[in-house]
Amino acid sequence: MAEASRVVRERPTSPHTTIWRWHLTMATSILHRFTGIALYGAALIAAAWAISLAAGPDTYGAYKAVMGSILGKVVLFGLTLAAFFHLGNGIRHLTWDLGFGLDVKSANASGVGVIAFTVAATLAVWVIAGMAGAF
């Protein structure tokens, strides 16, 4: 019995960033994933804090020196941005899960709201930390 010849077609590929026009909901979705990854880094920094605290004053002093440097402050500022963005966008996703705000106009407005919340909350935390003498 002869096998019938089959035409082999290439599998279709998913649209990607070179095909789709960038829009706010796409950017916030990607940023949500990146900030989630960044928060894993924040957990490692918090673990290093606890370990250095338990290791004694010399180790803790070294940890404070690293985190108090310009690079350490930039990292902490970035992690603050990541935490507030992830929080705001997570709440946005919860409202979407409830069926609210799924139309394009509402989705774009909530994206702008998340970004505004992120900037305002991050600046507020750093201003309060500065006023409290944390720097």
Question: Which tens digits make up the pLDDT trace of 60-76?
Answer: 999 999 999 999 999 99
Residue 1, pLDDT score = 55
CA distances from 16 to 11, 19, 108 (A): 15, 6, 20
What radius of gyration, in Å, describes the C-alpha atoms of the chain?
23
State the pLDDT confidence band at 21, using cuts at 50, 70 and 90. Answer: confident
Judge whether 79 and 42 are in contact, CB under 8 Å.
yes
Average pLDDT over the chain, rounded to an integer: 92
Judge whether 105 and 80 are in contact, CB under 8 Å.
no
CA distances from 15 to 2, 8, 39, 70 (A): 38, 21, 29, 41
Residue 2 has pLDDT above 60, yes or no: no
Region 96-124: mean pLDDT is 97
Residue 11 has pLDDT above 80, yes or no: no
State the pLDDT confidence band at 96, using cuts at 50, 70 and 90. Answer: very high
Give me 65's structure tokens: 């020196």
